[in-house]
Amino acid sequence: MPNFSPFRKAVLNLRANPQSFLSRRPLSSQTSSSSTNTINQKFIIGAGLAISVPTYLYLTRARLDYQPDTVPDKVNSDVPDQVRSSQSGNGKQIAKISARDVLDKKDSNEFWVVINGDVYNVTEFLDEHPGGREIIESNKSKDVSYIFNPRHPSDQLNNENLPPSVKHLGKLEINNEEEKEKLKLNISKSETDEKELIKKKREEFEEKGLGQIINMRDFEKHAEELCSKVAWGYYASAADDEITKESNNSDYKKIRFRPRVLRPVKEVDSSTKILGYDSTIPLWISPAAMAKLGHPDGEVNLTKGAAATGIIQCISSFASCSVEEITAARTNNQPLFFQLYVNSKRHLAKEVISKINRLGFNAILLTVDAPVGGKRERDIRVKGEFEAPKSDAYDKQGDTKGVAEAIFSAVDPDLNWKDLKWIREQTKLPIIIKGVQTVEDAVLAYKYGADGVVLSNHGGRQLDTSATGISTLLEIRKHAPFLLRPEYRIPHGPSKELIKNPDLLVPTTPINEKPLDRKFSIFVDGGIWRGTDVVKALCLGAEAVGVGRGFLFAQTVGGVDGTIHAVKIFESEIQLAMRLLGVNKLSDLRPSMVEIVEN
């Protein structure tokens, strides 16, 4: 959230058991959700910035019941013609507010808006709104559902989740078409044209189906066609010149396999355990924010897809579905990890961790590579235009920034290694440090008691020209191999032992190599588009890898089915690489099976 302080009172007043709603839609109806994000600039500045509101309001919500079929499509619906009910869930009479009353407020000192058929007085909320007063003032006496829904959890408007300064007045009642038209937002022609184009592209895609997707890059190609420009600007953006984003993948091309032939490979097993939890492949869904920008069901698609395929999902702190929606959609005993950004206000950070404990998450990935948001120029250029948190550099220029910067300003920029002890005191869950980019910090993570690290540069979205995940793994192998499991501390490339004993598939572990005094896991994230990338990382000592953008694109294109299809692609490619490399199980992968090509 751009600035947490205005919501402090509101957040502390949010309490348990609101009803969660998600609407299931056929794939053909998803176009509006992914295309509602460019509107005109005045609308989007505030609406986009409002992205950050729900990402932290989950702090004090308790577990919700997931009822996906109870409500019609709130993203695509027009202004309702009539009130659906005149009573609340507790039997109290709900007031009916005429459209004329709403429209009459346009020339008054009060600010009313309509969202999903309900009327709200947001007058006292003007100065608390993270996007500033302008967006509310500009849309005074309008139905703002169109820009509200794609950016917020579906339970955001439950009474328990409303800040005290937002007053729910009642249900909207419309008497004629003229009133209905006056309430509608003035959508720009470019927005309408984009929406129609995406709809056409969606229909064309559906005619062929997911069968046309044969690798993860295919998902990327089609996702761009099925996203709005604003959504794509956020998903695809990286820092500055995007050199690190490209290097994340190109560095894998510098690693060559050394396959062993004439090995029986009919049977192959790509399953593993990640932090003690079963996974069908050595890969998890990395935390990636704002999935609803690509599909109306957002992160819940990933949760269901992970459950159906037996892999693990890590939930972003900036997810567009609330953690209650996500955990309510999980299957029994389905493991979920949580990506934690530490709020500068420790009592609020403590509430987040308490919630994660209570909702039954299985691990925390403490993200440390984003004390501030990177300069992501694609995101900024789209002009959506998400207003940035204020800083001296940009205030003087009056610039409008992207959502990336807007959502980071609640994160504590002074978080340091000593804070790890405080976090450990709040939970018994494994704590993995995500965003390590040097061997020194990997050593510090072990020293300060972390359970492992994710070698990652935030998908190239933070500091451009920084180290890639796989290059940091090579750095650890060279300078601090003791952090690796003993069998992976040997050099890569040809093994003298195997040359003397070529019948062996893997070299023996040197007797002088002892395990660490406690479990310490090393994972790699970033730039992984192929099963061969996964296998290369494991050969060099990683226990598993994370994939973020690829799954965002998959759920954008095909929802749950797209997520499942993506997992199957990775599984097929991983198993094929294993067979061609001459191994039957992941534990047989060794550094001797790869060589590094020097520049």
Catalytic residue positions, numbered: 341, 369, 458
CA distances from 96 to 16, 72, 114, 120 (A): 27, 20, 13, 12
CA atoms within 13 Å, Cβ hemisphere of 86: 5
Nearest-10 crossing angle of helices 439-447, 469-479? 70
CA atoms within 13 Å, Cβ hemisphere of 189: 0
How many CB atoms are located within 10 Å of the residue 230 CB? Answer: 29
Q: How close are the terminal C-alpha atoms of the chain, in Å?
A: 43
CB 514 within 8 A of CB 486: yes
CB 435 within 8 A of CB 368: yes
CA distances from 7 to 86, 128, 410, 462 (A): 30, 7, 11, 27
- In the numeric block, which tokens belong to residue 4? 């947490």
Query: Rounded to whole angstroms, how far apart are CA atoms 566 and 558?
Result: 10
Region of residue 168 (phi > 0: left; psi between -120 and 50: alpha; otherwise: beta): beta
CB 565 within 8 A of CB 558: yes
Please report the DSSP string for 294-310 in residue order.
T-TTTHHHHHHHHHHHT
Nearest-10 crossing angle of helices 531-539, 549-581? 70
DSSP secondary structure code for residue 155 in this structure: T
